[in-house]
């Protein structure tokens, strides 16, 4: 049997359990297969904790799993004090995401199993990190598929006593990523507050900006401007910051405000940056009409295809923006293009960008393939872990 951690509803002949209950999974012949957490309402009806029959699924099991996951990070190359400590299935803990921002942990419990073991997991995380503050951001939409209500707030280290004068620890935090200072709000930001998975691609973008001396950069779906700061850092290192300009687009006002603050916080001239609160697709069309051109473009859209079922419509949306971006690039210009859709494979994404190029009448060199930062690992047994894929394409002529 392949040691894959998901058991779909359609693969189950009989049996069941309560939400999050540990169940023994057996083959048709009654042979032990796995211990799993049952989820009565999800299509993924059970998620595997262990393939070892002798393993007990108890508090020590979760303490050990959290410890393994945290220890592994010490061997990964992470240039930040914002780190993903637990990445769900890849770390043997399906439905658990834990990010550390400095001395604060932020966790997402998105499966019935992790919900059931929440207190044990929370204590294990604090124990293994030696930290005291843990905030919960279990407001991801996937929770509803598991029949769970959203839950947010301090799980550990929050304000003491009811109606006390303590406001609780800060929700507004700052991290050092590479040489940059970036801020986030763990209660209001996307996901747990920040897109840690793009850390190394932002650094790559800074490297290209420096080496190629970017002058006109367009950062689409910029969120809080990580790629914009990276571009400005690269330009400054190349001695080109006095001439360069970075345009950042997002449809979220608060994200753009923070992007602007990040430019200033990192010592860059705000005259070299502009921020557009707009729809990316419409803006790209407008730029084309105006005859604008850019020597570097980032396309980092939200998940257009959460699952394979959405792949077709998503493919059209990806192709559209990639076609427009390729048309807007100057010859020799560079496109950093991404998909974070689980439903779009790396292979399919490559094909989509290729057909966007064909439609645009633009050929390009694929300089690099990019993926998530190493603290968002893929494993041999769980190919779905490859949700984030990127291509660096240089326009030929």
Question: Which residues are at the interface with ligand SAH (CB under 6 A)?
Answer: 195, 198, 221-224, 226-227, 249-252, 255, 279-280, 300-302
**What minimum distance in Å lies between the beta carbon of 79 and ligand SAH?**
15
**What minimum distance in Å lies between the beta carbon of 194 and ligand SAH?**
7
**What minimum distance in Å lies between the beta carbon of 214 and ligand SAH?**
16
Which of 150, 254 has the CB closer to ligand SAH?
A: 254
Which of 7, 184 has the CB closer to ligand SAH?
A: 184
CA distance 191 to 194: 7
CA distance 388 to 337: 11
Which of 252, 345 has the CB closer to ligand SAH?
A: 252
Structure tokens at 225: 């401007």
Which of 35, 180 has the CB closer to ligand SAH?
A: 180
**What minimum distance in Å lies between the beta carbon of 39 and ligand SAH?**
28
Structure tokens at 89: 């299935």
Which of 112, 196 has the CB closer to ligand SAH?
A: 196
CA distance 111 to 38: 9
DSSP 8-state class, residue 191:
T
For the chain, list the strands marked E by DSSP. Answer: 6-8, 22-26, 32-38, 44-50, 82-87, 96-101, 104-109, 133-138, 151-156, 172-177, 180-185, 216-220, 245-250, 273-277, 294-299, 329-339, 364-371, 389-395
CA distance 208 to 371: 17
**What minimum distance in Å lies between the beta carbon of 203 and ligand SAH?**
11
For 132-262, list the strands marked E by DSSP. Answer: 133-138, 151-156, 172-177, 180-185, 216-220, 245-250
Which of 64, 261 has the CB closer to ligand SAH?
A: 261
**For residue 103, which of 132, 66, 69 has the smallest C-alpha distance?**
132
Which of 109, 227 has the CB closer to ligand SAH?
A: 227
**What minimum distance in Å lies between the beta carbon of 96 and ligand SAH?**
22
CB neighbour class for 129 (10 Å; exposed up to 12, middle 13-18, buried from 19)? middle
**What minimum distance in Å lies between the beta carbon of 352 and ligand SAH?**
17
DSSP 8-state class, residue 146:
T
Q: Tokens 């839950």 label which residue?
A: 151
**What minimum distance in Å lies between the beta carbon of 342 and ligand SAH?**
15
**What minimum distance in Å lies between the beta carbon of 357 and ligand SAH?**
22
Which of 48, 217 has the CB closer to ligand SAH?
A: 217
**What minimum distance in Å lies between the beta carbon of 225 and ligand SAH?**
7
CB neighbour class for 151 (10 Å; exposed up to 12, middle 13-18, buried from 19)? middle
Residues 384, 386, 387, 390: what is their CA dihedral angle, to the nearest 10 degrees? -150
Cα 260 from chain centroid (whole Å): 21
Instruction: Order across the sheet with 273-277: list the strands.
Output: 273-277, 245-250, 216-220, 294-299, 329-339, 389-395, 364-371
Which of 124, 230 has the CB closer to ligand SAH?
A: 230
CB neighbour class for 352 (10 Å; exposed up to 12, middle 13-18, buried from 19)? buried
Please enumerate in sequence order all residues whose Cβ is within 8 A of that of 189, keeping only pairs 6 or more positions apart, or say none.
224
Which of 128, 300 has the CB closer to ligand SAH?
A: 300
**What minimum distance in Å lies between the beta carbon of 370 and ligand SAH?**
12
């Amino acid at each position: 049997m392949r040691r894959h951690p998901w058991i779909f509803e359609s693969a189950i002949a009989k049996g069941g359990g309560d939400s999050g209950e540990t169940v023994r999974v057996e083959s048709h012949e009654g042979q032990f297969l796995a211990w799993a957490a049952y989820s009565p309402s999800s299509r993924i009806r059970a998620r595997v904790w262990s393939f070892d029959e002798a393993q007990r699924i108890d508090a020590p099991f979760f303490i050990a799993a959290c410890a393994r996951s945290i220890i592994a990070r010490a061997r990964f190359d992470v240039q930040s004090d914002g780190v993903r400590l637990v990445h769900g299935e890849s770390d043997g803990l399906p439905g658990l995401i834990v990010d550390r921002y400095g001395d604060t942990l932020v966790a997402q419990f998105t499966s019935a199993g992790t919900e059931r073991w929440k207190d044990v997991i929370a204590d294990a995380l604090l124990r293994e990190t030696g930290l005291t503050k843990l905030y919960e951001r279990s407001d991801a939409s996937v929770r509803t598929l598991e029949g769970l209500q959203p839950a947010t707030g301090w799980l550990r280290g929050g304000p003491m006593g009811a109606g006390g004068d303590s406001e609780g620890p800060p929700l507004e935090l700052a991290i050092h990523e590479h040489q940059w200072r970036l801020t986030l709000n763990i209660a209001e930001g996307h996901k747990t507050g920040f897109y840690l998975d793009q850390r190394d691609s932002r650094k790559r973008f800074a490297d290209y900006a420096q080496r190629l001396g970017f002058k006109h950069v367009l950062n689409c779906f910029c969120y809080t401007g990580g790629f914009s700061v990276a571009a400005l850092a690269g330009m400054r290192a190349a001695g080109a910051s006095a001439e360069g300009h970075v345009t950042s687009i997002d449809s979220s006002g608060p994200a753009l405000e923070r992007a602007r603050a990040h430019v200033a916080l990192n010592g860059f001239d705000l005259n070299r940056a502009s921020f557009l609160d707009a729809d990316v697709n419409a803006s790209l069309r407008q730029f084309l009409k105006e005859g604008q051109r850019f020597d570097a473009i980032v396309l980092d859209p939200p998940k257009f295809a959460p699952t394979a079922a959405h792949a077709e419509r998503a493919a059209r949306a990806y192709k559209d923006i990639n076609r427009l971006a390729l048309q807007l690039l100057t010859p020799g210009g560079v496109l950093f293009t991404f998909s974070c859709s689980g439903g779009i494979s790396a292979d399919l994404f490559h094909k989509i960008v290729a057909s966007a190029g064909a439609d645009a009448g633009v050929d390009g060199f694929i300089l690099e393939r990019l993926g998530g930062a190493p603290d968002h690992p893929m494993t041999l047994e769980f190919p779905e872990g490859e949700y984030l894929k990127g291509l660096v394409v240089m326009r030929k002529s």
